[in-house]
């Protein structure tokens, strides 16, 4: 293996489940470049498309899709995942073989896997990134959590993008009762930075997540927004070859935005209406923005986080079936997320790739 960072190649591979895993890898990729590593990006679908737009000069590789599908009704979420599990397991086995070949072909010195279970190899230092040390699946939580813990214990380290203490963002999701020396709490990570700029919008709506739920919420909110009196910007979360912009009365619609554009509109907006996905929660904490959550129906993790943060008096939420635009008035009665002030010591974390 190589002896200096400038010669070291790191494979970084986020799961393609919505855009959250890909977007939170953006600051990690930038940190790798700043520390003179050579990142190679690997994923599939919209996650890979987004990272290609963000890093057009970096090498990208395609991995097999886990074929994760959402049910149209939240109550069928777990059954849909079970139906797809054989396809997912096949993709995991295939990507394990592919990665083994890439290590030799591209002289890979280290691996960063964001929830891709097959992106691992014993030959090189492999790090697993997750905020779900416990995987919530209702009455099968204990099984899915044990399986996940068994998998990430194979890696050299497991990075959790949260605080390790009692004041944290993930609660039971990202904290175990028994300490594990492989787990490192690195603090919230975000591709966005706080900026002091004049307010331009009263409301930012930003959508993400797999279909069909993303599209169902988009269609519903486009009807509800007709009852909104303030100035709003609506980011649909549709990654496409070309960006589109449409202005209808008091609402400006974009199909997607890159990181620079998103950073601007987040900072320019008073409140944010979004899913309670963990990557979005980290963005809000870093940007110190008040928000309202609509968790993805049937996704236990998002429902848990929304309930936790509302119970703590930080962020209100409503279910997708019950949300009304007038519910946004509740935001003013909540404190907002705890501020993220800490700087991530990337140089120290990347020492894992030194033999």
**Which has the closest alpha carbon to 234: 196, 200, 204, 267?**
204
Please write the tens of the pLDDT for every residue from 232-247: 999 998 888 899 999 9
8 A C-beta contact, residue 221 and residue 203: no
Higher-pLDDT residue of 224, 338: 224
**Cβ atoms 182, 153 nearer than 8 A:** yes
**Residue from 18, 65, 50 nearest 214 by CA:** 18
- What are the angstrom distances between the C-alpha of 291 and each of 125, 205, 272? 38, 10, 5
Kindly state the helix (H) or strand (E) to which residue 43 belongs, with its residue range: strand 38-43
H/E element, 128: strand 126-129
The answer to whether 283 and 266 are in contact (CB under 8 A) is: yes
Q: In the chain, pLDDT over 70 holds for what percent of residues?
A: 92
- CA–CA distance, 282 with 5 (Å, rounded to integer): 28
pLDDT of residue 5: 65
342 vs 199: which has the higher pLDDT: 199
If pLDDT is split at 50, 70 and 90, which confidence band does 343 have? Answer: confident
Burial call 205-225: b when 16+ CB within 10 Å, e when fewer: bbbbbbeebbeebbeebeebb
Q: pLDDT value at position 17?
A: 82
pLDDT grade for 87, boundaries at 50, 70 and 90: confident
Q: Could you give the CA distance from residue 209 to residue 215 in angstroms, rounded to a whole number?
A: 9
The count of other CB atoms within 10 Å of the CB of residue 344 is 16
Query: In this predicted model, which residue has the larger pLDDT, 80 or 177?
Result: 177
Host H or E run for residue 42: strand 38-43
Residue 246 pLDDT = 97
CA distance 68 to 47: 13
**For residue 173, what pLDDT is reported?**
93
Residue 317 DSSP code? B
Q: Which residue has the higher pLDDT, 130 or 167?
A: 130
How much is the pLDDT for 19?
83
pTM: 0.87
């Amino acid at each position: 293996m190589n002896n200096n960072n400038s010669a070291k190649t790191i494979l970084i591979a986020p799961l393609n489940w919505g855009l959250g895993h890909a977007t939170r890898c953006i600051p990690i990729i930038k940190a790798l470049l700043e520390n003179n590593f050579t990142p190679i990006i690997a994923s599939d679908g919209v996650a890979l498309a987004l990272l290609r737009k963000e890093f057009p000069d970096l090498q990208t590789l395609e991995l097999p899709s886990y074929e994760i599908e959402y049910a149209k009704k939240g109550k069928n979420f777990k059954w849909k995942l079970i139906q797809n599990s054989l396809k997912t397991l096949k993709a995991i086995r295939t990507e394990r073989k592919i990665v083994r070949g890439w290590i030799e072909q591209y002289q890979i010195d280290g691996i960063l896997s964001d929830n891709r279970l097959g992106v691992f190899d014993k030959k090189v230092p492999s790090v697993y990134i997750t905020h779900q040390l416990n995987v919530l699946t209702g009455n099968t939580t204990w099984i899915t959590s044990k399986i996940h813990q068994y998998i990430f214990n194979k890696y050299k380290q497991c990075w959790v993008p949260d605080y390790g203490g009692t004041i944290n963002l993930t609660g039971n999701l990202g904290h175990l009762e028994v300490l594990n020396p492989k787990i490192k709490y690195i603090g919230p990570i975000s591709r966005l930075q706080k900026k002091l700029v004049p307010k331009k919008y009263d409301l930012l709506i930003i959508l993400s997540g797999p279909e069909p739920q993303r599209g169902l919420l988009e269609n519903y909110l486009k009807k509800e927004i007709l009852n909104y009196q303030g100035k709003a910007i609506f980011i649909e979360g549709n990654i496409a070859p070309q960006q589109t912009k449409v202005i209808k009365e008091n609402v400006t619609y974009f199909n997607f935005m890159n990181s620079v554009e998103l950073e601007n509109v987040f900072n320019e907006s008073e409140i944010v209406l979004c899913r309670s996905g963990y990557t979005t929660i980290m963005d809000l904490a870093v940007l110190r923005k008040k928000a309202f959550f609509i968790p993805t129906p049937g996704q236990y993790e998002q429902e848990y986080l929304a309930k936790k943060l509302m119970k703590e008096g930080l962020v209100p939420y409503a279910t997708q079936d019950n949300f009304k635009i007038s519910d946004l008035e509740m935001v003013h009665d909540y404190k907002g997320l705890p501020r993220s002030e800490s700087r991530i010591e990337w140089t120290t974390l990347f020492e894992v790739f030194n033999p």
